[in-house]
């Protein structure tokens, strides 16, 4: 009898495993606490409970999430809305199906000795900026301020910044792009005191655009089975995010367990996860249309060279998140 029960349990498990739906998630960057909710959902079995077999694909400096999506290498990707909307205007029809991040963590971090006290002091300074889609919020901000980015007099010299803080440490730039949860702390850990820095958070400057959201290809949303799969994915992912918010240290350790590069440290990931929790707080996974409209307005406000040339149509859907929240 006992053997029969064990056999039946194994059979049931194998049937369930056979029917698990595959989902490939492409991250915007390398394995780190920025994506803690997804790793928690995987580790805690939240995806498995929904009948999903999720593979998380780390990003990196040589990986473009939009190109991965265009090539069919992933079902869903994490991306910032400026990058996604720019890609959509260029022909890659990405659609936002959920928005785990409510707030932006992006900012400019400047050396106090540069004399910069306010945005008006950016003129004639060198500012480090990430590219690969991350430059769009910055360019829109400068356009809003009326500051040229071509290096002309009265403008700023844009330094194409690598994904490190070296330009600030080596004083090649007066300010560099940082995230509240990552590079800012790299500057601090390098020995520069907070009092020796001046920071400008995009949120506080009124130029914040939406960051980590979940995007799929529009054509795939015509498939009811795909939509049903994404409902399960979003529901489990948000369960992972809320768990990560409530247990940031545990979430950080789960991220470390999934870091195959071995590059991350416990101290940095725990600190990162505590900061990330501030950005996901207030989100139940559904995109706030007001946040979307604000982002579009900022991206359209680029003067003669806006990030997008017209308001997008069909760039997001509430259908998936609404169903997931039920």
The pLDDT assigned to 272 comes to 98
Q: How far apart are CA 178 and CA 109, in angstroms?
A: 6
Nearest to 179 by CA among 244, 242, 272: 272
Strand order in the sheet with 157-160: 157-160, 126-129, 175-179, 106-111, 197-201
Q: How far apart are CA 25 and CA 46, in angstroms?
A: 15
Pair 136, 306: CB distance under 8 Å: no
- 106-205 folds as D-Maltodextrin-Binding Protein; domain 2 (3.40.190)
Q: How far apart are CA 112 and CA 94, in angstroms?
A: 40
Q: What is the mean pLDDT of residues 210-218?
A: 97
CATH number among 3.40.50.300, 3.40.1800.10, 3.60.15.10, 3.40.190.10, domain 2-103+210-325: 3.40.190.10
DSSP assignments along 194-253, one per residue: GGGEEEEEHHHHT-----SEEEEEGGGGG-HHHHHHHHHHHHHHHHHHHHHHH-HHHHHH
Q: How far is CA 1 from the centre of its chain?
A: 52
Q: Where are the domains of the chain?
A: 2-103+210-325, 106-205
**Contacts with 299 (C-beta within 8 Å, 6 or more apart), sequence order:** 82, 85, 86, 136, 140, 209, 306, 307, 308
Say what the pTM is.
0.90
Q: How far apart are CA 147 and CA 301, in angstroms?
A: 13
The per-residue pLDDT for range 1-16, each reduced to its tens digit, is: 434 444 444 444 444 4
The per-residue pLDDT for range 140-171, each reduced to its tens digit, is: 899 889 999 988 889 999 999 988 999 999 99
The pLDDT assigned to 16 comes to 46
pLDDT at 278 over 50: yes
- Mean pLDDT taken over the chain: 92
pLDDT at 82 over 80: yes
The residue among 139 and 281 whose pLDDT is bigger is 281
């Amino acid at each position: 009898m006992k053997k029969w029960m064990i056999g039946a349990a194994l059979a049931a498990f194998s049937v369930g495993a056979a029917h698990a739906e595959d989902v490939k998630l492409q991250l915007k960057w390398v394995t780190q606490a920025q994506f803690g909710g997804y790793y928690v959902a995987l580790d805690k079995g939240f995806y498995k409970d929904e009948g999903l077999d999720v593979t998380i694909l780390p990003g990196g400096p040589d990986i473009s999430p939009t190109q991965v999506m265009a090539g069919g290498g992933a079902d869903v990707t994490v991306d910032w809305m400026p990058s996604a909307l720019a890609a959509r205007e260029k022909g890659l029809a990405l659609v936002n199906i959920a928005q785990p991040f409510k707030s932006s963590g992006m900012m400019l971090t400047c050396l106090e000795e540069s004399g910069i006290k306010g945005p008006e002091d950016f003129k004639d300074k060198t500012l480090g900026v990430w590219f690969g889609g991350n430059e769009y919020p910055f360019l829109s901000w400068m356009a809003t301020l009326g500051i040229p980015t071509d290096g002309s007099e009265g403008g700023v010299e844009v330094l194409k910044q690598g994904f490190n803080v070296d330009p600030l440490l080596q004083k090649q730039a007066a300010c560099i792009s940082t995230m509240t949860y990552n590079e800012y702390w790299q500057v601090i850990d390098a020995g520069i005191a907070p009092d020796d820095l001046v920071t400008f958070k995009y949120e506080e400057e009124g130029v914040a655009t939406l960051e980590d959201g979940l995007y799929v290809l529009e054509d795939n949303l015509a498939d009811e089975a795909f939509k049903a799969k994404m409902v399960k994915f979003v529901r489990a992912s948000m369960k992972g995010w809320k768990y990560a918010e409530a247990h940031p240290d545990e979430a950080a350790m789960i991220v470390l367990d999934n870091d195959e590069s071995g590059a991350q440290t416990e101290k940095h990931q725990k600190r990162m996860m505590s900061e990330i929790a501030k950005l996901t707080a207030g989100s139940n996974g559904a995109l706030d249309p007001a946040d979307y409209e604000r982002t579009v307005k900022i991206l359209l406000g680029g003067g003669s060279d806006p990030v997008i040339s017209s308001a997008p149509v069909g760039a997001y859907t509430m259908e998936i998140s609404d169903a997931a929240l039920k």
